[in-house]
Amino acid sequence: MSIEWLGNADIETYRITKLSLHELLPTIIEERHASHVRAMIRDCDYILEWMETGRRPGNKRGVERLAAYQREIPTDIMEKYANKPAVVQFHDDREYVHMEYVLSLLTDRERTCYEMNVGGMWTDQEIANTLGLQRRTVREFLDRAQKKVKKYRTKPMPLYLDIAVSL
């Protein structure tokens, strides 16, 4: 077995290397050497697939279809409302807990859109682009969320939450 320079690391060079390794494989007597050559062939296959597709082999989803937890935008409710004190100011823990309760009544999408819009001061279009939705869909989520927030902000907090805040 000899080592020789095959040129630059491009697709054609890896194809030639892979063919050379396939030709070399039947001539190898010791199994440990054959396993190394098979590993090199697998490496060439991996590299060729990556170079030909432009994506890492094995990944079944493209960047546009990342899992929800990878697209998640971490936020803290107090930071969001601190950016816009004219909209929401909490005078005590009771108001904060009540707002958390009201937000918990929203669906995941409504809450995400509402927090990005009110807390993060994002436009409908920015939210739509980030979440991969239509602008009109975002607007519908925001309208529904605003109605629910308006409705439940005026209602008293459930007793179990009121007691928990008092403790």
Phi/psi of residue 61, nearest 5 degrees:
-115, 140
CATH number at residue 87: 1.10.10.10
Query: Is residue 64 scored above 50 in pLDDT?
Result: no
Let me know whether 120 and 145 are in one domain. yes
Residues of the domain holding 28: 11-53
Let me know whether 107 and 41 are in one domain. no
Place of tokens 């439940």: 152
Total residues belonging to the chain: 167
Place of tokens 């090199």: 40
Model pTM score: 0.45
User: Bigger pLDDT: 65 or 86?
Assistant: 65
Q: For the chain, what is the mean pLDDT?
A: 78
